[in-house]
Amino acid sequence: MSFTYDYPRPAVTVDIILITKDELPKILLIQRKHAPFKGTWALPGGFLDMDEDLPTAAQRELKEETNIENMILRQFKTYGDVHRDPRGRTVSVVFYAFVENEMKTLAGDDASEAKWFKINELPALAFDHQLILDEFNAEVLLN
């Protein structure tokens, strides 16, 4: 049996904060290969597939975009501002993990580059990723 609904539904995405335990932490960002925000830096992440749960999607996106896998990810927060994504209504669940040191990366899929940045020297970020990192800094790093 199949159900259809008269109400529009938002897309769901995952974003991943991978951050070092250094005194001055570094964070892994990807450079977007496609619009929107082509060429802009962003957190690794992407759309949830219909047949996967949120943690699986986060692991898959991290692997596809950075070639980093098998991280123990924790859920941070969910972001759902109506205008956060110019492609349409999108809700993102953010995950994070701490790593001892920078890990080797290999950009792939929707990422043209993957690079570590000092948390206090970030480039302009796509979507609402600066807000996400500001809140992560205030709620996780500073506590």
**pLDDT for the residue numbered 142:** 80
**Res. 47: pLDDT tops 80:** yes
**Which H or E element spans position 61?**
helix 54-66
Q: Is 131 helix (H, G, I), strand (E, B) or coil?
A: helix
More confident call, 42 vs 9? 42
Catalytic residue (choose from 52, 69, 102, 113): 113
Task: Enter the CATH code of domain 11-141.
Answer: 3.90.79.10
pLDDT digits (tens, 9 = 90+) for 17-38: 999 999 899 999 999 999 999 9
User: Per-residue pLDDT averaged across 67-75, rounded?
Assistant: 97
SS3 of residue 95 by DSSP: strand
Tell me whether residue 113 is one of the annotated catalytic residues. Answer: yes
Mean pLDDT of 58-66: 96
pLDDT at 143 over 90: no
**How many other CB atoms sit within 10 Å of the CB of residue 25?**
17
Burial class (CB in 10 A: 0-12, 13-18, 19+), 64: middle
Rounded to two decimals, the pTM is 0.93
Beta strands 26-32; 41-42: pairing state: antiparallel
pLDDT, tens only, 77-130: 999 999 999 999 999 999 999 999 999 998 888 888 999 999 999 999 999 999
